[in-house]
Structure 1
């Protein structure tokens, strides 16, 4: 029997892929911060409606939050914003692809932070699976630049690589913090735990980004409101993706969830090949094959 976190994670990766595609459409009308703000601002209402539905119609008891919950939620929200900001900063560098590749160490770092913060066990087989998938991601990234894998490895101490590692660390801390926040609520209803955590984090992130944009990018909030039709769909798809991520990470080790979530790369590859008729190099095909192999090994070991 398939464990529940598996289809939930696959749904999360699919919804995230959809959200990313819609966000790209908004970048021609909004700044990078504005397009990022959309995913939080327009997700607040759907997130709380989801919690209300779980409480009033499903009959799940509303969690009783406490200081530790808010500490983990705030840490998760802040590190997610920091991770995204670091990724955006990478685009200012000529060899930003190197840094982006190192940001993909998120899964490995999430495994380490999960052990340190929550004591989440990690089997040897799962660790092997995570490393196989990472090598696959490395191959996909190497296929897109002339230097190849050797160039990526030799660039380990470069500024973009270090920024990428910092971004991956922030994403890893964020994932583990969200899991810790949900689990700290206790109770038997993992759906309401995850939903309530998502709703609270979304408000925190919306307020933080609104304050930043008001002071640093005046006019962008108005632009976000003006483009509400597409932005609302982005927020809804983003909320659906986040709800699935939070739920899966409440059920299962965050590192396992993020590792399986790399199936998003397979969705992207399939769309580019079958819909946009884009050709892929042998290195990219090898990379996708390794990602899929890593996912299979992970599932066999969990």
Structure 2
């Protein structure tokens, strides 16, 4: 199986688009820092018993922070951890506009102060066939949307990442159309599982994991979970997204985890949990079908992949 990284490196997407626009683990003052144990151990100090938390063991924090895709910092899994120290996450503002009644530009610290922060233990399934269990901290996206009041014609939410070649070396390479963009239907965005994360393991997000603000939608493949968000806009029409623009036959707008729909170049029936031996069966909607399957009632999930 060739990964997306290998395809990019071999030039499969090199002709797509042109380069567009252009830390550390601090304690959050709003919450005490607590330690997540290694995946092979019990978790006596930090208990996840919320209505949306998985009961599966937490992945090693070293795996969560050291193995991920973030092409703005390089194509290898270890590149984000090596290169993301150049990203400045303060000051940082997020522009919220489009079909909303209260458009505004807000500082990231003000934004996160608007809402009580919640711990959420979610499975994360990459489209490449690997997975993690991640202890996020953040707030429901629905809370922000209610605050800015979507207009009556709003049907979709589009997210845009920072794309600064001075801070993000990968942006100098036009392997994708920069800045990175993603989108959700408004009802998906309002689902209580959908969150905006500002923390990981009780601390501020590491740069390589999407600081200072990232989307987390646990029933979708990981590429939907856009990092370093600078702009949120509400639209009437379905927005274009980065990977569905780059390779529309391989990456759809919905990107729901579906073991019955293979990627054109590999099976999606099983996954490799980082840190474990062997493979496990992939669950429909990544195990969150009870909470989200109703969003797609009557849809052809093979066609709308």
- Tell me the TM-score range normalised by the shorter chain: 0.3 to 0.5
Q: TM-score, normalised by structure 1?
A: 0.33
Structure of higher RCO (CA pairs closer than 8 Å, 6+ residues apart): 1
Higher strand share: 2
